[in-house]
């Protein structure tokens, strides 16, 4: 099983500011958690971060036939990007939306997620543990649905 973990703008700076909102874990901590979760579940995880919307769209398009599932934190593009929604709807790869912070407790403009209609689940407000929960959720979902393209 192969999962693509996609991160949007500024998430590479995780740990450098606003720990009260995003937690104190660094981006390096996040990468380590993703790889240890992948090892535990016996799957392969590839992480990609970009500050550019078009890059993220390219990655989603290229994921077709390669990845079984996507864990996606589009960061600020969550609240603006119909293009990311369209890319996810086009490739139809099971996708889990993840946010470090609890969006329901934040500004009105963060209450809208354009990508949510294309996602099978959302984890929000769990810090970097949300990525682990998202990977576990996809792992179970893919094994149950029999939709896994690649077994290792
Ligand atoms: O809570 C989340 O994961 C967000 O997707 C993070 C985005 C924000 O725009 C969304 O509304 C919610 C911000 C990403 C910036 O990440 C940093 C976090 C800490 C330090 C530097 C960057």
pTM recorded for the entire structure: 0.95
Tell me which of 81-85, 116-120, 144-148 is least confident. Answer: 144-148
152 has pLDDT over 50? no
Task: List the catalytic residues.
Answer: 22, 99
Kindly give the distance from the C-alpha atom of residue 140 to the centroid of ligand 1, in angstroms, as a whole number: 27
Kindly give the distance from the C-alpha atom of residue 21 to the centroid of ligand 1, in angstroms, as a whole number: 9
User: For the segment 44-74, what is each residue's pLDDT rounded down to a tens digit?
Assistant: 999 999 999 999 999 999 999 999 999 999 9
Residue 145: band (very low, low, confident or very high) from pLDDT cuts 50, 70, 90: confident
17 versus 79: the higher-pLDDT residue is: 79
Beta bridge partners of 3: 45, 69
Nearest CA to ligand 1 atom 13: 75
User: For the segment 7-34, what is each residue's pLDDT rounded down to a tens digit?
Assistant: 999 999 999 989 899 999 999 999 999 9
Mean pLDDT in the chain? 95
pLDDT number for residue 150:
44
């Amino acid at each position: 099983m192969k999962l693509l973990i996609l991160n949007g703008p500024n998430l590479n700076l995780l740990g450098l500011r606003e720990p009260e909102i995003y937690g104190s874990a660094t981006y390096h901590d996040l990468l380590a958690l993703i790889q240890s979760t992948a090892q535990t579940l016996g799957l392969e995880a590839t992480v990609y971060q970009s500050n550019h919307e078009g890059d993220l769209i390219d990655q989603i398009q290229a994921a077709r036939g390669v990845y079984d599932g996507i864990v996606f934190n589009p960061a600020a593009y969550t609240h603006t990007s119909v293009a990311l929604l369209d890319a996810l709807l086009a490739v139809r790869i099971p996708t889990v939306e993840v946010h470090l912070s609890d969006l329901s407790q934040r500004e009105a403009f963060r209450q809208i997620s354009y990508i949510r209609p294309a996602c099978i689940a959302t984890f929000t407000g769990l810090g970097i543990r949300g990525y682990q929960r998202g990977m576990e959720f996809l792992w179970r979902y893919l094994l149950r649905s029999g939709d896994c393209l690649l077994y290792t």
